[in-house]
């Protein structure tokens, strides 16, 4: 399934088309050309899909509420529903994303008055992947009823049953429920049932349409070190005062006296939330926790942990006592949030956004980080990376080229110490250049079997080499002249 996101008049971006079907997206370009606007907007789109409580009530109903109320059962053909309502649903998502942009960037509405967002699927319907699913869900409908949602693998139909009693009950309510039978509680209202039906269809569609997002922003070190001083609690209090009904990534009715409802952009707010919930975070373990261990062993040479006070610390290899994170090297602080994500949160299918992952890293560690990105893609994580690093790009190109080689791949992998699960198929990559002769319209780069070239990085490298060669030439000429003078 290929989805194209078109952005217009968002910050420094006049117009941009993004192919969201790629496993790895790379944003390159000079400073102040719109990369953050693009990555934050993409994060907000995915966050919105996983917190659709607000605009879910605008979704078209999948079945007749009257039928479900009267008989207690209904069947929804998912393929038919999605084919009929696909354009309407995509338009709703785009409209909601535009509405929340001021909140996403902690800015004012006037900055996004001219913004436009469009979502288009190049394959229809977007629910075909459901055929392979087999699931059963339970949704509460008031205190006395539940909505059972069931689907059998290989079938497009979803069965809806309205049942009485606790949510784990299987007491199907047949025709005439809620009548004179004293043992059957009064039926839920049509409004309540409609609300739950729309919430179910919105959540079910959106969470399959767009991956769960996680972002590691460029401000990560400051967030980790100064989370308490930045006072998320204060930020939340202000958020609730001005926008009391705003869910995670959602939109509420802001106080008309306010032109700015948030202190920080959404990615920073979410990163702050993670930093304040460390003791809760460590209760879970990711299925990809081995990648955290690999990163600690290969790059950090030590372990990231959470102490009894809920703060991060660092235990260097071959030492017995951990040190507070703020006393560790900047490289450790820069990667700590990524380690915690990999160990406690990451799941295949996620979207991980890495904002300038090369920050504070020596070139050799940047190469290792590129290899980690290959492992993430191989594990089913979608990755969006913004970068200024030629080292990262060249290593990604090496991994792409190795994947394209057949006869000599094994020997080259052994010689240069790569791993098969680090290699990336060039067709999985979408690369975009910001500020490259296209004004404010980022250009999509051509990705070939040997990777892709980044014009802005190549221009700097070429210019630097030319200057270095000429300077060295004249230095050598002058030294030769001095050496030729008789002593």
Nearest 5°: phi and psi at 430?
-120, 120
Question: What tokens does 97 get?
Answer: 């994303």
pLDDT in the model for residue 167: 55
pLDDT of residue 141: 83
Question: Distance between CA atoms of 147 and 382, rounded to whole angstroms?
Answer: 33
Parallel, antiparallel or unpaired: strands 312-316 and 302-306: antiparallel
Q: Could you give phi then psi for residue 59, rounded to 5 degrees?
A: -70, 145
Distance CA 362, CA 368 (A): 10
Q: Is the peptide bond before 125 cis (omega within 30 degrees of 0)?
A: yes
Q: Which residues contact 308 (CB under 8 A, 6 or more apart)?
A: none
Q: Nearest to residue 365, comparing CAs of 337, 343, 406, 334?
A: 334
| H-helix or E-strand spanning residue 81 | helix 78-104
DSSP-derived letter for residue 448 is: B
Sign of torsion over alpha carbons 81, 84, 86, 92: negative
- Given a cut of 50, the residues of the chain with pLDDT beneath it are 169-182, 244-258
What's the pLDDT at 137? Answer: 85
pLDDT of residue 11: 92
Per-residue pLDDT of 388-415, as tens digits, reads: 999 999 999 999 999 999 999 999 999 9
Among residues 233, 194, 189, 248, the alpha carbon closest in space to that of 56 is found at 194
**Given this model, what pLDDT does residue 444 score?**
94
Can you tell me the distance from the alpha carbon of 470 to that of 444, in angstroms, rounded to the nearest whole number? 34
pLDDT for 172 equals 40
Please tell me the predicted confidence (pLDDT) of residue 68. 83
pLDDT computed for residue 257 by the predictor = 35
Instruction: Give dist(CA 383, CA 215) in Å, integer.
Output: 10
d(CA 117, CA 138): 34
* pLDDT of res. 258: 43
Token code pair at residue 381: 């994580």
Q: How far is CA 113 from CA 108, 116, 275, 425, in A?
A: 9, 9, 33, 40
pLDDT digits (tens, 9 = 90+) for 185-234: 567 788 888 888 888 888 888 888 899 999 999 999 888 877 766 655 55
Phi-psi region of 399 (alpha: psi -120 to 50; beta: other; left: phi over 0): alpha
Q: Are strands 145-151 and 157-164 parallel, antiparallel or unpaired?
A: antiparallel
Name the 3-class secondary structure at 385: strand
Calpha distance 376→373 (Å, rounded): 5
* Confidence at residue 122, expressed as pLDDT on a 0 to 100 scale: 80
Cβ–Cβ under 8 Å, residues 19 and 384: no
CA distances from 338 to 7, 269, 477 (A): 28, 17, 51
pTM for this prediction: 0.87
Q: How far is CA 97 from CA 48, 49, 91, in A?
A: 7, 10, 10
Q: What pLDDT does 252 receive?
A: 41
Q: How far is CA 214 from the centre of its chain?
A: 5
CA distance 22 to 42: 13
Kindly provide the b/e burial profile for residues 367-399, where b requires at least 16 CB atoms within 10 angstroms of the residue's own CB: bbbbbbbbbbbbbebbbbbbbbbbbbbbbbbbb
């Amino acid at each position: 399934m290929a989805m194209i996101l078109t952005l217009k008049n968002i910050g420094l971006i006049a117009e941009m088309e993004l192919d969201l079907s790629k496993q790895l997206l790379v944003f390159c370009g000079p400073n102040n050309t719109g990369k953050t606007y693009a990555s934050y907007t993409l994060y907000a789109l995915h966050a919105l899909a996983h917190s659709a409580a607000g605009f879910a009530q605008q979704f078209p109903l999948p079945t007749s509420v009257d039928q479900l109320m009267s008989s207690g059962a209904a069947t929804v053909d998912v393929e038919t529903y999605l084919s009929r309502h696909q354009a309407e649903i995509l338009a709703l998502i785009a409209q909601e994303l535009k509405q929340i942009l001021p909140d996403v960037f902690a800015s004012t509405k006037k900055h996004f008055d001219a913004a436009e967002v469009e979502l288009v699927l190049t394959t229809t319907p977007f629910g075909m992947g459901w055929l392979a699913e087999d699931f059963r869900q339970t949704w509460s409908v008031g205190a006395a009823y539940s909505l059972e949602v069931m689907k059998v693998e290989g079938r497009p139909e979803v069965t809806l049953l309205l049942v009485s009693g606790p949510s784990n009950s299987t007491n199907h309510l047949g025709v005439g429920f809620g009548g004179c039978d004293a043992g059957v509680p009064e039926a839920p209202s049509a409004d309540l049932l409609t609300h739950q039906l729309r919430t179910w269809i919105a959540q079910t569609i959106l969470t399959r349409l767009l991956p769960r997002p996680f972002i590691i922003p460029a401000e990560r070190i400051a967030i980790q070190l100064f989370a308490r001083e930045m006072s998320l609690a204060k930020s939340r209090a202000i958020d609730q005062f001005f926008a009391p009904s705003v869910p995670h990534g959602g939109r509420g009715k802001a106080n008309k006296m306010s032109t700015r409802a948030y202190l920080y952009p959404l990615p920073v707010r979410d990163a702050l939330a993670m930093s304040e919930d460390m003791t809760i975070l460590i209760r879970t373990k990711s299925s990809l926790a081995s990648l955290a261990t690999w990163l600690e062993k290969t790059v950090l040479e030590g372990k990231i942990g959470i102490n009894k006070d809920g703060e991060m610390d660092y235990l260097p290899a071959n030492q017995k006592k951990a040190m507070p994170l703020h006393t560790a090297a900047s490289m450790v602080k820069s990667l700590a949030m990524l380690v915690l994500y990999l160990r406690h949160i990451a799941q295949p299918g996620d979207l991980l956004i890495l904002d300038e992952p090369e920050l504070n890293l020596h070139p050799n560690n940047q190469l290792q980080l590129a290899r980690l990105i290959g492992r993430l893609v191989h594990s089913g994580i979608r990755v969006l990376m913004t970068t200024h690093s030629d080292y990262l790009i060249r290593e990604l190109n090496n991994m792409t080229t190795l994947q394209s080689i057949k006869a000599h791949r094994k020997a080259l992998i052994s010689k240069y110490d790569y791993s098969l699960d680090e290699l990336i198929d060039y067709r999985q990559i979408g690369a975009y250049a910001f500020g490259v002769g296209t004004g404010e319209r980022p250009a999509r780069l051509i990705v070939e079997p040997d990777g892709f070239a980044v014009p802005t990085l190549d221009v700097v490298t070429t210019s630097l080499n030319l200057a270095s060669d000429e300077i060295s030439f004249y230095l050598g000429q002058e030294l030769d002249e001095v050496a030729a003078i008789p002593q």
